[in-house]
């Protein structure tokens, strides 16, 4: 019914937009694909090239944090609910694996069968956690997650029968030589990290991801349009928690020990959030980039100065700097700069043409609404680089 009423001008405009896209894309796509392949090759051969234990330890921990930051982002970044309690899942995953290995007498490589178990435990913990915390929004949500985090840390300290209290738990012993030990753990963490990135990417483009992002922008409006906000938020929270728990268990097997203050570490919460903020909240690649920058830097500083306070102070300073100077994160900022530069170079300054209300036809009261927008685009396409803004600006004047 509405379709036939649409003016052909609108279609022309849409076609114009499509045409414009096709100009820049093939080269960009190829470059992108090439970069991804290159990066994959690099991360696969990395542990073969660098067998130094200090390096491989940092590499493994970095991958664990890539996984944790991307998992955090697929809930907090997409939904806008900033969680500072994800260490609950990390620690629970580690403790679930540790307790199960102890109580069920699991030794050697059989411990890896506990990884899915750890993920399930963390996901199950995310259900009541989410049902309580997701009833409130924004700042209140952040505070609730911190409170729940401390409840879990206190439990780890005090439920000594289950957790061994301050003594902590040890992982089953593995009979691997140091080099292959690090390499195997590296590849397991790599698979986990890549899988998490893939899940995050799938969710972002999906209907579920769109619902999450709509909730981030205006939860009540989304609900009124039929998005069932609570189940959507809770599902993302559970997925995110489960993956974080899996990462926690793998970390525990590598480190060989979990203590209440290392499994349930408040710094973990801040670090993961900072990684996502630095790279770009709500983007697929941002949190990954953030983790690749922050974790090696932090580990390097810790080992260099044998004083972890320095890296903590720098971490805090970096957090402030990101919030103040890079609120959107690296990826979106660079992308905006890059596309702005490309637009300028091509002389397609869309900005003045789109800034108007579609009121290009000054007295075109009966004209199809599509036509002014199209006039704007075609003007931008036809005119040379310099004088593009002039006609659009003058046509805007008398109308508004």
Partner 1 sequence: MTALLSTAGIAKAFGGVQALDDCSVEVQEASITGLIGPNGSGKTTLFNVITGYERPDAGQVQFAGRDITGYAPQRVFAAGIGRTFQLTRIFPRLTVLENMIVAAQHTGDGSRRFRNPLARAGGAADRRRAMELLDFTGIAAHAGKLAGTLSYGQRKLLELSYVLVADPAIVLLDEPAGGVNPSLVNQLSQRIRELNAAGKTFLIVEHNMEFVMGLCHHIAVLDYGTVVAAGPPSDIRDDPRVLDAYLGTAEDDDEPAA
Using CB under 8 A as the criterion, which residues of the chain lie in contact with partner 1 when the complex forms? 1-3, 5-7, 10-11, 13-14, 16-17, 202-203, 205-211, 213-214, 216-218, 220-227, 282, 354-359, 361-374, 376-377, 399-400
Q: Bridge-partner residues for 169, per DSSP?
A: 258
Q: What is the CA radius of gyration of the chain?
A: 26
Helix (H, G, I), strand (E, B) or coil at 105: coil
Given the complex with partner 1, which of 257 and 378 has the nearer CB atom? 378
Given the complex with partner 1, which of 22 and 224 has the nearer CB atom? 224
We find the least distance from the C-beta atom of residue 174 to partner 1, in angstroms, to be: 35
We find the least distance from the C-beta atom of residue 270 to partner 1, in angstroms, to be: 24
β-pairing, 257-258 vs 169-170, is: antiparallel
We find the least distance from the C-beta atom of residue 180 to partner 1, in angstroms, to be: 36
- Which candidate, 317, 237, 239, places its Cα nearest to that of 278? 317
CA distance linking residue 212 with residue 328, whole number of Å: 18
The C-alpha torsion from 191 through 197 and 198 to 199, rounded to 10°, is 110
CA distance linking residue 263 with residue 88, whole number of Å: 8
Q: Which helix (H) or strand (E) holds 170?
A: strand 169-170
Number of other CB atoms surrounding residue 382 within 10 Å: 9
Given the complex with partner 1, which of 229 and 267 has the nearer CB atom? 229
CA distance linking residue 268 with residue 258, whole number of Å: 14
We find the least distance from the C-beta atom of residue 394 to partner 1, in angstroms, to be: 16
We find the least distance from the C-beta atom of residue 339 to partner 1, in angstroms, to be: 12
* Token pair 């000594």: residue: 160
Given the complex with partner 1, which of 153 and 211 has the nearer CB atom? 211
We find the least distance from the C-beta atom of residue 1 to partner 1, in angstroms, to be: 5
**What are the residue ranges of helices labelled H in 225-307?**
229-255, 260-263, 266-279, 286-305
We find the least distance from the C-beta atom of residue 228 to partner 1, in angstroms, to be: 8
Given the complex with partner 1, which of 103 and 366 has the nearer CB atom? 366
Burial level of 63, CB count in 10 A (0-12/13-18/19+)? buried
Given the complex with partner 1, which of 108 and 346 has the nearer CB atom? 346
Given the complex with partner 1, which of 5 and 49 has the nearer CB atom? 5
Given the complex with partner 1, which of 293 and 367 has the nearer CB atom? 367
Q: Which residues contact 234 (CB under 8 A, 6 or more apart)?
A: 126, 127, 130, 131, 134
We find the least distance from the C-beta atom of residue 383 to partner 1, in angstroms, to be: 17
User: What are the backbone angles phi and psi of residue 258, rounded to the nearest 5°?
Assistant: -130, 135
We find the least distance from the C-beta atom of residue 234 to partner 1, in angstroms, to be: 13
Given the complex with partner 1, which of 177 and 220 has the nearer CB atom? 220
């Amino acid at each position: 019914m509405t379709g036939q009423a649409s003016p052909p001008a609108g279609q022309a405009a849409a076609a114009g937009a499509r045409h414009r896209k096709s100009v820049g894309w093939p080269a960009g796509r190829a470059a992108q694909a090439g970069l991804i392949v290159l990066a994959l090759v690099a991360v696969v051969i990395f542990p073969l090239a660098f067998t130094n234990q200090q390096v491989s330890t940092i590499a493994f921990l970095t991958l664990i944090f890539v996984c944790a930051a991307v998992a955090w982002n697929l809930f907090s970044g997409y939904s806008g609910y900033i969680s500072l309690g994800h260490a609950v899942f990390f620690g629970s995953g580690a403790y679930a694996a540790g307790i199960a290995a102890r109580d069920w007498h699991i030794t050697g490589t059989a411990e890896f069968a506990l990884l899915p178990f750890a993920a399930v435990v963390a996901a199950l913990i995310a259900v009541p956690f989410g049902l309580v915390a997701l009833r409130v929004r924004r700042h209140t949500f952040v505070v609730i997650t911190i409170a729940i985090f401390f409840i879990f840390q206190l439990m780890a300290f005090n439920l000594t029968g289950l957790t061994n209290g301050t003594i902590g738990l040890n992982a089953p012993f593995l009979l691997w030589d140091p080099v292959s030990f690090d390499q195997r753990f590296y590849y397991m963490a790599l698979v986990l990290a890549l899988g998490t990135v893939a899940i995050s990417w799938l969710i972002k483009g999906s209907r579920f991801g769109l619902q999450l992002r709509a909730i981030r922008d205006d939860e009540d409006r989304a609900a009124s349009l039929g998005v069932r906000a609570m189940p959507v938020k809770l599902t993302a929270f559970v997925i995110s928690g489960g993956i974080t728990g899996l990462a926690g268990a793998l970390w525990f097997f590598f480190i060989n020990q979990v203590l209440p203050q290392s499994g349930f570490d408040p710094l973990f919460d801040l670090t993961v959030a900072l990684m996502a903020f630095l790279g770009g909240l709500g983007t697929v690649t941002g949190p990954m980039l953030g983790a690749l920058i922050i974790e090696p830097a932090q580990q390097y500083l810790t080992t260099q100065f044998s004083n972890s306070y320095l890296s903590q102070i720098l971490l805090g300073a970096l957090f402030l700097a990101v919030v103040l100077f890079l609120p959107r994160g690296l990826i979106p900022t660079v992308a905006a700069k890059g596309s702005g530069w490309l637009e300028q170079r091509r002389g397609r300054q869309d900005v003045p043409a789109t800034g108007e209300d579609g009121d290009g036809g000054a007295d075109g009261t009966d004209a199809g609404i599509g036509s002014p927008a199209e006039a704007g685009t075609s003007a931008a396409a036809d005119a040379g680089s310099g004088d593009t803004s002039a006609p659009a600006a003058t046509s805007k004047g008398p109308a508004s």
